[in-house]
Amino acid sequence: MTGIEALEATITAPVASFRNPLYTGVQVTLPCPPPSTIGGMLAAAAGSWDKIPHDFRFAAAFHAEGRGTDLETYHPLPTARKPGNYGPQNREFLAFTTLTIWILDNLDQWEHRLRRPVWPMRLGRSQDLAALTTRRTTLTTTPGEQHGALITDHPAAGGTSLRVPTAITLDRGRTLWGSYRYDPTGHTTATVPNSYSTPTGQAVALLPPTHPATAESV
């Protein structure tokens, strides 16, 4: 059985929120971070998107132990027709979250970046700091089971169907959307095609590139 070395980064936060961009005026959270959010966090660790190749890819899995709703001051962007109307608003959040990222290229470089990030590691909102640990692991080329992985959608996938941003241009003028699947329970055992697997059988499925340059051609 062929093996491949990977860098596994585990990011934890007591509270996280990933605003669903398909809803306006309300703070509805997605069940997991979209690829664009994860890619942006890695770019922050590196210092900027300029330090990351356009074809850079990673795999991810996510788990939250619970969810709830609290109040947060809402800061809508003012427009010519509607001025900013600041005030408290309900915000959905996820509690005791764990994001696992697998990187297969330039392991030494990424291990240094994640251990000494240029910008603080944040998961979701800017005020929600996250803790991070890294380790080396060996993946097999045998396709793994879905469980809590965020994967591109395919007919045999389980869980929730998501239409979320894959990449966003630096000026936020264009968004590249993608279709994904994620099971918040982590119970889906469907085999993920073209994936690797961890020693426990978890699928490690590389997501599409999240670099802003990939959204420029949209």
Percent of the chain at pLDDT > 90 equals: 72
What is the pLDDT, as a whole number, of residue 70?
72
Residues 130-187 pLDDT 10s? 889 999 999 999 999 999 999 999 999 999 999 999 999 999 899 999 999 999 999 9
CA distance 91 to 131: 23
pLDDT at 87 over 70: no
What is the pLDDT, as a whole number, of residue 141?
96
Given phi > 0 = left and psi -120 to 50 = alpha, else beta, which region is 194? left
Give the pTM.
Answer: 0.89
What's the whole-number average pLDDT of the chain?
89
Which stretch, 10-14, 17-21, 93-97, 147-151, has highest mean pLDDT?
147-151
